[in-house]
Amino acid sequence: MTTTEHPGSGAGLAGANATESARQGLSSRRAATGAADSERIATVVGAALEGIRAAIRDHRVGYAEFDAFKRWLIDVSDTGEWPLFLDVYLEFEVERVAADSQSGSTGTILGPFWLDGQAQLTSPATLPMRDDEPGTPFVLAGQVRGTDGTPLAGATVDIWHTDDEGWYSGFAEKPPAGNLRGVVTCDDEGRFEIRTRKPAPYTIPLDGPTGKLTLAAGWSPWRPAHLHLLVAAPGHRTVTTQLFFTGDEYLDSDVASATKPDLVLDPQPTGNGAEIRSDYDFVLEPE
Ligand code: DHB
Ligand code: FE
């Protein structure tokens, strides 16, 4: 397991910006759920609290550890890391519950780093990038269809991912705003072709409380390289997913537990220099 510090990691920036983004509540727009009634609150919150009380009893937690826990919680708030912590350690369970009642393409977690208002592009598209953007040129192409096989005209692919050094624009100092992010409108047959760079594996910020806890427990802080996608079409449920790359050394030890076998790409050379390409189709269920 490698635990090299992610160079220039900025827990402060990543945490604060992720908190701002979470306030917009995108993930709850994925599925309508009613307001919680008091019985539901008592059941779910009660079970969560009982889980913690059981850990205290079973592992003889003392006051020094209880105080450390309080300080850590305060630190998570102060650094704005709640979205990071929750999306790494809990979101995958929520996503699995949601997936039980869904059809269409396999989804996975949204994570904390989606941003609204990115470049609007038309397929074939090249994501915004620096003139000398490092990394392997990568093409993702495919078609968006309904569950009955109909190509979905007007489909959009909102895509965001790290650069070749594992940095997300908007959440790290280095990449410029909007780098490697865009919302691509497909053609009339729901087809898309997106030119970008292959992303790199990513460690959660190591200088904030989420990373410190992860390292203190001896857990790997790495996520395998991944593309984030929101695939949408009028009248259909948006698929929130990620795509990974075969051979990635962190595929089986994702700190966010978000990998699924269906989501692993095996890109092939296109013959155009170092460029590689993957074809991946999406199926959306009617709303
Ligand atoms: C985190 C980062 C990601 O890139 C992701 O997809 C999920 C979670 C995080 O740092 O919390
Ligand atoms: Fe991510």
Q: Give the Cα separation of 149 and 156 in Å (integer).
A: 17
pLDDT at residue 94 above 60? yes
- Asked if 279 and 142 touch (Cβ cutoff 8 Å), the reply is yes
Helix (H, G, I), strand (E, B) or coil at 263: helix
Spacing, Cα 258 to ligand 1 middle (Å):
10
Q: How many domains does the chain have?
A: 1
Find the domain containing 19 and state its range: 11-33+81-284
pLDDT of 49 reads 98
Residue whose CA is closest, atom 10 of ligand 1? 204
Domain assignment of residue 75, yes or no: no
Is 70 exceeded by the pLDDT of residue 239? yes
Nearest residue by C-alpha to atom 4 in ligand 1? 111
Q: Is residue 64 part of a domain?
A: no
- Does any domain span residue 59? no
The CATH number that applies at residue 141 is 2.60.130.10
Note whether residue 66 is domain-resident. no
Q: 71 C-alpha vs ligand 1 centroid, how far in Å?
A: 23
Q: Over the stretch 193-231, which tens digit does the pLDDT of each residue have?
A: 999 999 999 999 999 999 999 999 999 999 999 999 999
40 in any annotated domain = no
Protein residue whose Cα sits closest to atom 9 of ligand 1: 84
Least confident of 11-15, 75-79, 213-217: 11-15
Q: Are 253 and 261 in contact (CB under 8 A)?
A: no
Q: Of 229, 240, 232, which is closest to residue 278 (Cα–Cα)?
A: 229
* C-alpha of residue 228 to centroid of ligand 1, in Å: 10
φ, ψ of residue 78 to 5 degrees: the values are -60, -35
Return the pLDDT at 7: 40
Ligand 1 geometric centre to CA of 112 (Å): 6
Please answer whether residues 101 and 216 qualify as being in contact, where contact means their C-beta atoms are separated by less than 8 angstroms. no
Task: Please state, rounded to an integer, the average pLDDT across all residues of the chain.
Answer: 93
What is the number of the ligand closest to the CA of 14? 1
Asked if the structure places residue 201 within a domain, the reply is yes
Substitution candidate for ligand 1 out of 88, 168, 229, 251 with most atoms within 8 A of CB: 88
Whole-model pTM?
A: 0.91
pLDDT at 19: 83
Q: Taking a C-beta distance cutoff of 8 angstroms, is the pair 222, 252 a contact?
A: no
